[in-house]
Amino acid sequence: MKVVGINSGTDKLSELPNPKSFLDSVSKRYYKELGKILIKEKLLKETHLVTLNMLATNCAQWEFAVKAIQKKNKEKSGSGYIQEYTSGATNISTELVLKRDAEKAMRDNISAFGMDPQSERKLKKVFVDPGQKSLFQEFLDKKKS
């Protein structure tokens, strides 16, 4: 994989590589939109591209499921949420299962980037500014001079 636009002194990407060819057009749109946000926030590394691909794919699946639910509900109210079998038995619809599964995967993916409040707080706690010296280092520097 060719790495593009690595910031000097850090492994964060400054340019978004082209999306993978296996992504469909909706996934590529999400890849580009989310990738721009991650680059702007200086959160995207080359090692994160797999997670970004997964996030983009799950966003596309979620969008598909929401549209399919809306379409079914327009035809018959509630049919996007519940499927009814000829026997009279009911179950949640496959579209609702796809939506639910995509949402769970999206939450997992966005938390990897600190893009939700809880994981953002966790990531900020472990982030240490590489330019910041420790008190011990400052003590040693003063002792040398």
- Beta-carbon count within 10 A of 120 CB: 14
Say if CB 35 and CB 23 are below 8 A apart: no
pLDDT computed for residue 123 by the predictor:
66
pLDDT in tens, 53-62: 999 999 999 9
- Beta-carbon count within 10 A of 90 CB: 11
pLDDT in tens, 7-26: 444 689 999 999 999 999 99
**Residues of the chain below pLDDT 50:** 1, 7-9
Check: pTM over 0.85? Answer yes or no.
no
